[in-house]
Structure 1
């Protein structure tokens, strides 16, 4: 059966044998008992079958092997046998020169391979933007094994103080990419973007330079009154925001939510949409279920929990709504509002609150023992949260005196 032989799949092959690429016709990877992996092209010419050796993996990345294979197929279409053409020599030369691939080409390949790990497309966009903006102008056209510490400092020093958070994240990305190049034997020596024991001795520590900025949040005592305004606001964005608040959910979890994920009063978010890459069950209150029913009636044929004409809301739908309501807070900040309320107004345990927020347990020992998701206790917590959120709606009732 053909296989998409991208870098990750090719690297992780366990069984020796031949693997046919699903992208390029005739391209195969031969995984030998000697633990070597070799690209080759199987083709027919004048009624006979031939094989053209292309080069070893990982010296030749999948993208390069496919390009060479496609060039060979172009020659075949012209009536030339690539085995007796200059392509054989060109193939050998490319295999030798593959260790001289540029940082730009290798970095873009890394982003493509790593993208499957991310729960949001914005991570790939952030990686690409920071590299294109700051790194590629300096080292984009350099060979991987030519990059040294001075080159990394040329990238980081101009923005280390003015854009500390961006520079710190960029340094981590550069370290990861160059570490991947070392793993694939495309460069030797120390990683020039390494922080501990290396750049740490040259650049100021980011944590000592950056001001800690929290997501602006609404004080929990102001939330019930705000929800009255929100419930009087028409539109699917208002429904989505209230749903996010009542479930202490992240924006991406709500906007990407599918109706198929809801079963009864349980909303099960798949691991690939969670920040911690772990499936998360959310117990839904009566109001949360009512919101879903209203949203469904507004866009009956959609697969999403909240949508317009079958398409999910944009990432800016809820922030723009808050702006129209003159609230200088973020959607994410309502998670802090929820957490503050739990700590200051309830006797619910911190672990139940953290589980409701789907936070990762940093203590590995504790995480190993805490395997259950405390669903029943979280259901009680979210009901108490709903009761608190509804506490203001009766305060504006006027008592009518008999005439």
Structure 2
């Protein structure tokens, strides 16, 4: 006969403190209080179900009292006598609960959790954080926002992307990447199963046109190469800080945000170098811009405002808005049209040029009017060149 454990009272159980499993005796047999090395306590019921030995958790102590633990153990003994396996029953219940949760969690629900836990936790740029929400709110939520994240298919993703893939390809590509990230997270959280329908390689790649080909047709409108000198002369007749910022942008082939956020501390006029820190670059890497004589002269003549770190400050001594620089180009175009001239139009789309298109103008100039290697032009634009190993 196996040795019967001595039946403990509630006060005796309360005094137990040694790590290990302590049998508490009484009915039913097999009930123990488990104490971990950290002092955490919980009930374990050891019982035989058919030919299998089960160790079943009955909850933490003291939330579950000795009397409650014995009652739960007795109830399980009754279930086992009736042919029910409590462990298997729990597994089925958990699986059913997981299915219910997957069916109940919509794409928008999953996004909100991912946004809070990952996007806001990892991204530092407030503009990029805002873009995550705005792009999915605009393009994804109207189509798949209310759909269970577990049931989203390739057709659903195509319903989001196809209306904007050709006309707004850069935005569409970012929407696809963000949907893919949310669905990857959902799979790890066991909210969905199977392949990610928003994956590009080997999936949407076989259905949608390549972004590189589409974006070439839908790039930002640029000033034509044969007209860039005339455009620049017109720009130089314009007064104001915004016009000088646009002039500096043209001379450095930089992005609007990099110019608008330029600080005097980043500029070495003596050596003609503008060092943009990684946190202000799209690629998140430091970028050194060699300044031409014209760019150095522009900066040398640019007044420095007291207690303002920006090279091109707003009227309130803060950072200039993107619309301020764009407005200069629009006014130039309007003045040209008022004089009966077509203005400065992109050679492909015949749309009026915009500030970001000046980078395309620079790239065309480097390719068609100079002998500089392609990689040098790409590096000047702060684009990735070569493989990750080559870049390192």
Answer yes or no: same fold by TM over 0.5: yes
**Is 1:367 aligned to residue 391 of structure 2?**
yes
Greater displacement, 305-314 / 204-213: 204-213
Could you say if the C-alpha distance between residues 125 and 116 of structure 1 is closer, same or farther in structure 2, counting changes exceeding 3 Å?
Answer: same
Question: Which runs of structure 2 are paired with 1:308-347 in the superposition (5 Å)?
Answer: 308=314, 309-326=316-333, 327=344, 328-347=352-371
Matched positions, count: 275
Aligned-partner SS, 1:278: coil
1:1-400 mapped onto 2 (5 Å cutoff)? 101-112=105-116, 113-114=118-119, 121-141=126-146, 144=149, 146-149=150-153, 153-154=155-156, 156-157=158-159, 160-161=162-163, 164=166, 165=169, 169-198=174-203, 203-205=207-209, 210=214, 212-264=217-269, 265-297=272-304, 299-308=305-314, 309-326=316-333, 327=344, 328-368=352-392
Local SS of the residue matching 1:226 = helix
Please state how far the C-alpha of 1:174 moved relative to its aligned partner.
1.5
- Please give the alpha-carbon distance, in whole angstroms, between the structure 2 residues aligned to 1:343 and 1:268: 25
1:28 maps to what in 2?
Answer: none
What CA deviation, in whole Å up to 9, does each residue of 1:2-25 have, x standing for no partner? xxxxxxxxxxxxxxxxxxxxxxxx
Normalised by the size of structure 2, how large is the TM-score?
0.59
- Alpha-carbon deviations, 1:97-135, whole Å to 9, x = none? 987654324313434533576686444444323322343
Give the 3-state SS of the residue equivalent to 1:178 in structure 2: helix
Counterpart CA distance in 1 for 2:290 and 2:148 is 53
- Contact 2:143–2:159 under 8 Å retained in 1: no
Structure 2 segments unaligned to the other structure (5+ residues): 1-38, 42-62, 65-93, 334-343, 345-351
Cα distance change, pair 291–107 in 1 and its aligned pair in 2 (3 A): same
Structure 1 117/333 Cα, relative in aligned 2: closer, same or farther at 3 Å? farther
Decide whether the 8 Å contact of 1:253 with 1:273 is kept in 2: yes
Secondary structure at the counterpart of residue 215 of structure 1: coil
Shift of the alpha carbon at 1:318?
A: 1.6
CA, structure 1 residues 324+168, in 2 after alignment: closer, same or farther (shift >3 Å)?
A: same
Greater mean deviation of Cα atoms: 207-216 or 172-181: 207-216
Distance 1:361 1:116, change over 3 A: farther
TM-score by length of 1: 0.58
Q: Is the 8 A contact 1:103 1:142 kept in 2?
A: yes
- SS at structure 1 position matched to 2:322: coil
